């Protein structure tokens, strides 16, 4: 008899109940008891769903009021010492202080969990870090689940993954120096779980899908040999990529079972299956925890059936990873195209898929004939749907040549033409695109959406905002202007709404961090641009000024990366389709007289595969997609791009290969250190390192920005250097924005004076 389970369930709630409860708690309108009660109800509801689907376990330990990594630290007692909290008496308020900071302490750092859009709090390791035990929350949750009368399987972030994902703050040579202590800490937790009657613990070690050095790999055996001694049965879970290269290690580990992600690594089964030891559970992650497409159940069955005879009840089936990364319940979608809705499965529907698979395995396919037939019908309806296939797009893809991803002339020739055309001063000043999204903008958009104000009225209000933004930029004295993006709710949604092939959900929320959720659009079909998307806005903005106005687009990789992407063709092909749509927009902007066009790619780096050996392939198509969108224009039209997190020293050759005429990047928070890589690499094109951090309302002083600019001049040749903030200003208010930008212009002017003086000096000494 095969068993079924999930690796974790989204905790935010189908109606984002956790978000509301957290925000009233933080805002002072809710108290501890209310928040705790919301948490309890959500856990109960999610366990009930797992029970209804007749899964063999309810998964406990996937709940957290903010983040599961922080919860693990709280459980072990390993919260950062700098806060001075007693780990055993940690209160909810203190827990949130760790996550969000307070007047006395800055918050723990937050970063992306592997290649997901979920952000975890980064553990802080020092020689003083102890794992001597913390709060009892997990043990209380186990009791809660047990009162339901269901078998509770506990999930924990594994010790090696926890260590690896943390950051050394002080006093340690290597993170593994903490290994003996952390193993003791986990051993105590596992012993207590066993005493509480827990029979299975799923222990997540997703770092196994990275390229680990031998020191980390060698740590697995002794760690798990120590942990299994006085513990429930351990299921070591890997996910996010295949782990075939560790097959021997995984089979030899003294754990009771291993979980594999068959969605990300379908081929690894052929490595593992033939030699899988008889006495170990093999859990197969067959239901996609990272995407929203309904599974092809017959196909899944065909893959796992051969293992059933061999493994019996040691065969488990499950989600590929935690369902944290998909929305909660499709039943709350009332506006989706019904045809498309049929093709989808959110977390709740994925439980049903597992239930069907389990019955098919254990009781025979005849018992679930109807369900399998429905799945088959949906798959074939999707494959043959006219919603998906667009012959026009297919034909253009087939006709793509080398020439489509090449500008006419090389950069050095282009830039000469562009300089002659735009006649900008040295160190041109600009901004990244958005200006403050004020309350009145948001209100107008909401009113328009509700139908309370007509289209024309809305248009006029947005035009007023654009005019205001242009006037202010003129006053401040910026050289290259932007329209300010008031008409955009979100840089991906705005374009997705105008492209064919994109759908938008009403309630497809996924947790990004803490109470923050995002609602990624769904790319279900061939992407096609029926008409121009931004041209009238940009044209209007340009009509208000004699200075160059940048057209503003979101690049193909970012459009892909921040969406749920169709799984019936490669991401590469989808990216190329988006690139072609953007290429048409770029050409239309040029025709309308827009001389500078920015194609933002903030998600370019986060699209990198987990394993570095897969980077070149990704980078090749990602660069190609960008170039296809940017290359259909004349040499004197200037292409800009923008990327936020600028730690891309390791991929600089590809950034350069994108061949944007100007790139603007985030550098102020690292004190321009991120720029060094560009200098050493001798980045050939123009570059605008951000001179102030837009994430904070603080207005930087002129002298601070002058200092950063002088630093930048030390690395980047003067002719290539632009001046701009780190990123878009949409989260800021107008007063601080105007002040900061004015200071930025003053700093630039003083830089120009310095340059002029140097040039005169040079002339004098020449004579």
First CA to last CA across the chain, in angstroms? 93
Binding piece for Zn ion, criterion CB under 5 A, among 153-161, 384-392, 496-504, 601-609 = 601-609
If one asks whether residue 433 binds ligand GLN (CB under 6 A), the answer comes out as yes
For residue 314, the Cα-to-chain-centroid distance in whole angstroms is 35
Task: Give the x-and-dash track for 349-388 against ligand GLN (CB under 6 A).
Answer: ----------------------------------------
Between CA 438 and CA 461 the distance in angstroms is 12
Q: Looking at 164-172, 185-193, 510-518, 644-652, which segment touches Zn ion (CB under 5 A)?
A: 644-652
Query: Residue 434: which of ligand GLN, Zn ion, none does it interact with, CB under 5 to 8 A by kind?
Result: ligand GLN
The entry of ligand GLN, Zn ion, none near residue 628 (CB within 5 to 8 angstroms by kind) is none
Say which residues have a Cβ less than 8 Å from residue 100's Cβ, sequence separation at least 6.
26, 107, 514
Among ligand GLN, Zn ion, none, partner that 472 touches (CB below 5 to 8 angstroms by kind): none
CB nearer to Zn ion: pick between 595 and 602: 602
Q: Which of residues 149-188 bind ligand GLN (CB under 6 A)?
A: none
**Minimal distance in Å, beta carbon 596 to Zn ion?**
17
Q: Which is nearer to Zn ion, 628 or 727 (CB)?
A: 727
Answer yes or no whether residue 602 interacts with ligand GLN by CB under 6 A.
yes
644 binds ligand GLN (CB under 6 A): yes
730 binds, among ligand GLN, Zn ion, none (CB under 5 to 8 A by kind): ligand GLN
> Mask: binding to ligand GLN, 674-713, rule CB under 6 A, as x and -?
----------------------------------------
640 part of the interface to ligand GLN, by CB under 6 A: no
Determine, following the binding rule CB under 5 A, whether residue 207 of this chain makes contact with Zn ion: no
Contact, 561 vs 521, CB < 8 A?
no
Stretch of residues binding ligand GLN (CB under 6 A), selected from 65-73, 429-437, 471-479, 492-500:
429-437
List 226, 723, 727, 747, residue binding ligand GLN (CB under 6 A) = 727
Euclidean distance between CA atoms 753 and 104, whole angstroms:
41
Residue 12 touches Zn ion, criterion: CB under 5 A: no
CA distance readout (Å), 386 to 380, 389, 521, 622: 12, 5, 20, 27
Residue among 420, 411, 452 nearest 663 (CA): 411
Task: Decide: 708 and 668 in contact? Cβ < 8 Å.
Answer: yes
Residues in contact with ligand GLN, counted by CB under 6 A, come to a total of 13
Place of tokens 């969108």: 629
Residue 538 makes CB contacts below 8 A (sequence gap 6+) with 483, 549, 551, 552, 589, 592, 594
Q: Does 630 bind ligand GLN (CB under 6 A)?
A: no
Residue 310 contacts residue 279 (beta carbons within 8 Å): no
DSSP code string of 508-577: --EEEETTEEE---EEEEEEE--S-SSHHHHHHHHHT-SS-BEEEEE-HHHHHHTSEEPSSS-HHHHHHH
Is position 740 an interface residue for Zn ion (rule: CB under 5 A)?
no
Which H or E element spans position 430?
Answer: none
Q: Which is nearer to Zn ion, 166 or 602 (CB)?
A: 602
**Residue 318 lies near ligand GLN (rule: CB under 6 A):** no
How far apart, in whole angstroms, are the C-alpha atoms of residue 472 and residue 735? 11
Binding at 674: pick from Zn ion, ligand GLN, none (beta carbon under 5-8 Å per type):
none
Residue 644 as a binder of Zn ion (CB under 5 A): the answer is yes
Q: Which does 307 bind (CB under 5 to 8 A by kind): Zn ion, ligand GLN, none?
A: none
Q: How far is CA 498 from CA 451, 523, 533, 586, in A?
A: 19, 12, 7, 15
Q: Least distance in Å: CB of 644 to Zn ion? A: 3
Between 597 and 619, CB nearer to ligand GLN: 597
By annotation, the residues acting in catalysis are 695
Return the SS3 of 664: strand
Which residue has the closest beta carbon to ligand GLN?
728
The whole-angstrom separation of Cα 167 and Cα 93 is 24
Residue 225: Cβ within 10 Å count? 13
- Applying CB under 5 A, the residues found at the interface with Zn ion are 602, 644, 727
- Applying CB under 6 A, the residues found at the interface with ligand GLN are 432-434, 485, 491, 552, 600, 602, 642, 644, 727-728, 730
């Amino acid at each position: 008899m095969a068993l079924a389970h999930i690796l974790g369930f989204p905790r935010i709630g189908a109606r984002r109940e956790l978000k509301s409860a957290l925000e009233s708690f933080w805002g002072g309108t809710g108290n501890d008891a209310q928040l705790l009660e919301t948490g309890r109800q959500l856990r109960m509801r999610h366990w009930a769903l797992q029970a209804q689907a007749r899964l063999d376990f309810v998964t406990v330990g996937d709940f957290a009021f903010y983040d599961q990594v922080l919860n693990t630290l709280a459980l072990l007692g390993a919260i950062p010492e700098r806060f001075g909290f007693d780990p055993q008496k940690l209160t909810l308020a203190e827990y949130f202080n760790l996550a969000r900071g307070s007047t006395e302490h800055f918050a723990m750092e937050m970063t992306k969990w592997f290649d997901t859009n979920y952000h975890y709090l980064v553990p802080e390791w020092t020689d003083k870090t102890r794992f001597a035990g913390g709060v009892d929350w997990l043990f209380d949750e186990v009791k809660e689940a047990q009162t339901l009368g269901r078998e509770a399987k506990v999930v924990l972030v594994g010790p090696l993954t926890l260590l690896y994902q943390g950051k050394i703050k002080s006093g340690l040579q290597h993170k593994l120096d903490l290994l003996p202590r952390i193993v003791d800490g986990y051993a105590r937790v596992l012993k207590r779980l066993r005493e509480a009657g827990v029979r299975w613990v799923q222990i997540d070690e997703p770092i196994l899908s990275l390229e680990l050095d031998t020191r980390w790999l060698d740590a697995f055996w002794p760690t798990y040999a120590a942990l299994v001694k006085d513990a429930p049965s351990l299921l070591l879970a890997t996910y996010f990529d295949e782990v075939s290269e560790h097959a021997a290690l995984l089979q030899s580990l003294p754990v009771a079972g291993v979980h594999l992600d068959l969605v990300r690594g379908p081929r690894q089964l052929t490595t593992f299956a033939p030699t899988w030891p008889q006495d170990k559970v093999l859990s197969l992650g067959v239901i996609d925890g990272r995407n929203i497409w309904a599974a092809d159940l017959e196909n899944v069955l065909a893959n796992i059936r051969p293992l059933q005879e061999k493994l019996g009840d040691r065969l488990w089936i499950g989600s590929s990873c935690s369902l944290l990364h998909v929305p909660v319940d499709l039943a709350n979608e009332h506006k989706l195209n019904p045809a498309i809705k049929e093709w989808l499965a959110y977390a709740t529907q994925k439980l049903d898929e597992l239930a069907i698979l389990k019955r098919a395995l254990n009781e025979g396919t005849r018992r679930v004939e109807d369900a399998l037939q429905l799945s088959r019908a949906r798959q074939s309806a999707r494959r043959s749907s006219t919603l998906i296939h667009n012959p026009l797009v297919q034909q253009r893809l087939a006709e793509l040549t080398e020439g489509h991803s090449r500008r006419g002339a090389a950069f050095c020739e282009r830039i000469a033409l562009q300089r002659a055309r735009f006649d900008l001063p040295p160190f041109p000043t600009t901004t990244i695109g958005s200006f403050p999204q004020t309350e009145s903008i948001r209100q107008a958009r909401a009113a328009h959406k509700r139908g309370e104000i007509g289209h024309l009225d809305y248009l006029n209000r947005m035009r007023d905002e654009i005019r205001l933004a242009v006037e202010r930029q003129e006053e401040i004295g910026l050289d290259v202007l932007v329209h300010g993006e008031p008409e955009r709710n979100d840089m991906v949604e705005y374009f997705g709404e105008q492209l064919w092939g994109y759908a938008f959900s009403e309630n497809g929320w996924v947790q990004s961090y803490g109470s923050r959720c995002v609602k990624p659009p769904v790319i279900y079909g061939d992407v096609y641009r029926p008409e121009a998307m931004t041209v009238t806005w940009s044209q209007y903005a340009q009509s208000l000024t004699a200075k160059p106005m940048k057209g503003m687009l979101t690049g193909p990789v970012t459009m892909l990366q921040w969406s749920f992407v169709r799984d019936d063709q490669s991401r590469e092909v989808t990216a190329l389709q988006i690139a072609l749509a953007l290429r048409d927009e770029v050409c239309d902007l040029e025709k309308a007289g827009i001389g500078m066009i920015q194609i933002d790619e903030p998600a370019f780096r986060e699209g990198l595969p987990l394993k570095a050996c897969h980077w070149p392939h990704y980078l090749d198509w990602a660069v190609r997609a960008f170039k296809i969108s940017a290359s259909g224009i004349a040499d004197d039209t200037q292409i800009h791009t923008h990327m936020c997190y600028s730690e891309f020293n390791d991929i600089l050759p590809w950034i350069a290969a994108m061949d944007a005429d100007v790139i603007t990047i985030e550098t102020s928070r690292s004190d321009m250190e991120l720029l060094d890589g560009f200098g050493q690499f001798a980045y050939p094109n123009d570059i605008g390192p951000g001179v102030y951090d837009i994430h904070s309302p603080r207005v930087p002083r002129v002298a601070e920005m002058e200092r950063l600019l002088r630093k930048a001049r030390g690395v980047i040749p003067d002719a290539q250097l632009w001046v701009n903030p780190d990123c878009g200003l949409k989260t800021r208010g107008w007063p601080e924005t105007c002040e900061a930008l004015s200071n930025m212009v003053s700093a630039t002017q003083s830089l120009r004076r310095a340059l002029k003086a140097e040039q005169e000096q040079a002339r004098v000494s020449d004579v």
